[in-house]
Amino acid sequence: MSLWIMGGKQRIGFGKKPEHTMFESGVVAKLDDDGKAEKAFEYKTPPEHLAPEKKSTVFKAATIVGDTAYLCTETEVLICRLPDFEIQQLISLPCFNDLHHVAPGPDGTLWIVSTGLDAVAEVSCDGELLRLIDVFGRDVWDKFSKETDYRLVASTKPHESHPNYVFFLDGQPWATRFRQKDAVNLHDPTQTMPVFKESIHDGHVLGDEVWFTAIDGHLIRVNSRSGESQVTDLNELSTTPDRPLGWCRGLLRTEEGTWVGFSRLRHTRLKHNLSWIRHGFSNYAPLPTRLSLYDLDDFRVIREIDLEGAHLNAVFSIHEAGTE
């Protein structure tokens, strides 16, 4: 099976750098049936959509529907035609800061996670902002200013929630919340899915279940009807238990197995984000950015694909490429 993998190429440099300056370009890699990963598309955000000191581009989590790919950089949404990723439309709004996911909703509008504003934007297909929803159910503009172009603000960290991913249940939009370790109904913030052991990233609806990735290498399945959950610890399958798996983001269930993305660990100024790491950075060589394919029934690793050679140093989402 062929796959698209969305992420970014890290800028070469020495020493610790702020995360918002780390990535040279957004990259889409293609994994062919033979297991070889190659760069398929590379993109850099134009300077007018970035803070002067930022100059960083990375593709966060995307959505693919048919022959259309919905990609997001930190300040833009790109609507592209497959398989060449020809850009059909580019949307960039002042409320876009540190975007993490874009997905078309049931009504055809676009739902875009503006992580830097702790909010999710609903945008029309022609790029008009319809509403901006705070993930706590408050007024976004109580904390932020309508007069500010947040594309030109390098960082709004620390984030109070840091939402990552949007998904839909019975037509209702939900978002994962990193700090709260849960998912929240954006139309009714009193409805949440359970607090998890670690901070979560992805949220994928598969039948009656929602599958979440936790950054420390756990997969959590929650039955959306009963609320019952099941946790799988992928660390138990590691062949290098002295080294963390990496940032766990990106999930795809296929007939072949369950694909999970792992990004090479990087320094961060927010040390508590890495509280699940037992060893300091100086004590190990980080594992490479890669895809791992798991058989969860037999609880084994089927294979792993190193992505560094395809210019991917971080993975944010994984998608079936289909046949062309």
Asked which of 15-24, 191-200, 290-299 is least confident by mean pLDDT, the reply is: 15-24
In a domain, 81, yes or no: yes
The answer to the question of residue 23 being in a domain is: yes
Residue 276: inside a domain:
no
Kindly report the number of other CB atoms within 10 A of residue 159's CB atom. 19
* Sole residue written with tokens 């909703």: 105
Domain encompassing residue 303:
3-270+281-320
122 belongs to a structural domain: yes
Give the predicted TM-score (pTM) of the model.
Answer: 0.93
CATH of the domain at 118: 2.130.10.10
Contacts of 150 (CB under 8 A, 6+ apart): 94, 95, 96, 97, 114, 116, 117, 144, 156
Q: Provide the number of structural domains found in the chain.
A: 1
With a cut of 50, say whether residue 160 has pLDDT above it: yes
User: Could you report the per-residue pLDDT of 198-251, keeping only the tens digit for each?
Assistant: 899 999 999 999 999 999 999 999 999 999 999 999 999 998 888 899 999 999
Residue 84: pLDDT over 80: yes
Q: Is residue 123 part of a domain?
A: yes
In a domain, 167, yes or no: yes
Task: Give a yes or no: residue 275 inside a domain.
Answer: no
- Answer yes or no: is pLDDT of 267 > 70: no
Residue at 175 is within a domain? yes
Q: Given this model, what pLDDT does residue 282 score?
A: 46
Alpha helices in the chain (DSSP H): none
- Average per-residue pLDDT for the chain: 91
